[in-house]
């Protein structure tokens, strides 16, 4: 059996990393864990988290964690693959040093430091020392692995164009975890309010100011009940905008337990994705979109090249222009006034996730990617460990590129 080690200080609780572990197991790979918690200790990472003092403390903590990881790794049976995931930039460098140059190293970053800290949140200036350092670290951590798994083709192309063409990459879409599964949509009449749900961090990617502006426009008409769950760097500014625009009737909830999110999705008619206008927003499909779709809920989100790699606007999702509160309000107004539309869109989304992005399909797709990237492992996959053909989404490659 092929063996893999999930290695490093990656955020073990993040859905992307849990989905990666599940896909490895569904591909017929035995998975060992060599992990030290670090980054997930701070949920909301404000600008101060990335300041000099904070990074110095984190650096010391990482050195201690690295020593423990080194000891744990050497106590494990030699793996066929060393894998690290989201928040694993430093783990890539450590894994190469600990496992050696011959180790097959796979990195699934989800996002890069440059797109998050420079382009999206603008914590660092592009031409500043910190911005250049983030770009340098991105290049090293993308070039050192034998395979980099990106979450969309748009993201893969951005990495090649903006950071390094030397990274060997393949696309593996995220999907949703099993707790997010279809639940019956409620039967709603045009006289009942449309229940709209947003959850996530208040960061530029999400465009929460667009949501509250749309809510303010609809609030004057009635018929829409909005709930926003989460905290984050831009929450205070978003709430000030909501009050100024007369959208103070939005129900605001702090973080809820992750396993409660399916219940909130079951109670809504429509879930909101992201509406930011940054380059990052154009090349990601956030986990919340997959999760709501898997639950059979209609999703409204920004129309981006990444979104269209998996979803078909008007069929299994509703897409609006990024940053356009008027377009979002119009989409919600249409859903409010056409009660049968949300259940139809949601049902199509649920079928898409169930047929093309369930655990078996993801395992088969990952097996195909790994067999292409590592021909010496290919025969062991085709010998029966994960030989089922991988369903292919429209425009979604399953091979890899050097």
- Domain positions in the chain are 3-174+357-385, 194-355
Kindly tell me if the per-residue pLDDT of 395 is higher than 70. Answer: no
Please report which confidence band the pLDDT of residue 179 belongs to, taking 50, 70 and 90 as the band edges.
very high
Kindly tell me if the per-residue pLDDT of 383 is higher than 80. Answer: no
Please report which confidence band the pLDDT of residue 402 belongs to, taking 50, 70 and 90 as the band edges.
very low
53-62, 145-154, 296-305: which range is least confident on average?
53-62
3 state DSSP class of 229:
strand
391 versus 373: the higher-pLDDT residue is 373
CATH says 194-355 is which class?
alpha beta
- Residue 100 sits at φ, ψ, to 5 deg, of 95, 165
0.85 exceeded by the pTM? Answer: yes
Query: Cα–Cα–Cα angle for 162, 166, 168, nearest 5°?
Result: 105
Distances (CA, A) of 175 to 86, 286, 296: 15, 10, 13
Same fold for the domain at 3-174+357-385 and the one at 194-355? yes
Kindly tell me if the per-residue pLDDT of 129 is higher than 90. Answer: no
3 state DSSP class of 319:
strand
Please report which confidence band the pLDDT of residue 311 belongs to, taking 50, 70 and 90 as the band edges.
very high
Please report which confidence band the pLDDT of residue 126 belongs to, taking 50, 70 and 90 as the band edges.
confident
Tokens of 331: 């989409």
Q: Which CATH architecture has domain 3-174+357-385?
A: 3-Layer(aba) Sandwich (3.40)
Kindly tell me if the per-residue pLDDT of 272 is higher than 60. Answer: yes
Kindly tell me if the per-residue pLDDT of 7 is higher than 80. Answer: yes
């Amino acid at each position: 059996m092929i063996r893999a080690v999930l290695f490093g200080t990656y955020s073990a609780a993040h859905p992307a990393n849990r989905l990666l572990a599940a896909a490895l197991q569904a591909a017929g790979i035995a998975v060992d864990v060599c992990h030290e918690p670090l980054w997930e200790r701070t949920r909301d990472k404000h600008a101060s988290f990335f300041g000099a003092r904070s990074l110095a403390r984190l650096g010391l903590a990482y050195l201690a964690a690295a020593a423990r990881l080194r000891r744990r790794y050497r106590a494990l049976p030699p793996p066929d693959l060393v894998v690290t995931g989201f928040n694993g930039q430093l783990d890539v460098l450590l894994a190469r040093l600990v496992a050696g140059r011959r180790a097959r190293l796979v990195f699934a970053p989800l996002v890069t430091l440059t797109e998050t800290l420079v382009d999206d949140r603008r914590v660092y200036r592009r031409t500043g020392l910190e911005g250049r350092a983030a770009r340098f670290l991105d290049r090293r951590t993308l070039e050192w692995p034998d395979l980099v798994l990106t979450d969309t083709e748009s993201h893969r192309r951005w990495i090649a164009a903006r950071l390094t063409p030397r990274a060997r990459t393949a696309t593996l879409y995220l999907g949703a975890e099993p707790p997010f599964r279809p639940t019956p949509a409620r039967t709603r009449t045009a006289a009942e309010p449309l229940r709209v749900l947003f959850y996530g961090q208040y960061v530029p990617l999400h465009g929460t100011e667009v949501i509250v502006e749309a809510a303010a426009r609809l609030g004057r008409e009635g018929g829409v009940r909005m709930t926003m769950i989460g905290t984050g760097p831009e929450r205070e500014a978003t709430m000030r905008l909501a009050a100024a625009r007369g959208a103070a009737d939005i129900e605001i909830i702090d973080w809820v337990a992750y396993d409660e999110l399916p219940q909130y999705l079951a109670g809504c008619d429509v879930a909101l994705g992201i509406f930011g206008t940054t380059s990052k927003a154009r090349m990601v499909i956030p986990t919340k979109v997959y999760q709501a779709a898997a639950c059979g809920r209609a999703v409204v989100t920004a129309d981006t090249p990444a979104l269209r790699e998996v979803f078909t606007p008007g069929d299994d999702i509703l897409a609006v222009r990024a940053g356009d509160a008027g377009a979002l309000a119009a989409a919600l107004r249409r859903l409010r006034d056409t009660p049968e539309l949300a259940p139809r869109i949601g049902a199509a989304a649920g079928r898409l996730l169930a047929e093309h992005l369930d655990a078996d399909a993801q395992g088969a797709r990952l097996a195909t990617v790994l067999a292409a990237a590592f021909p010496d492992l290919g025969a062991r996959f085709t010998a029966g460990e994960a030989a089922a053909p991988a369903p292919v989404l429209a425009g979604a490659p399953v091979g890899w590129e050097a």
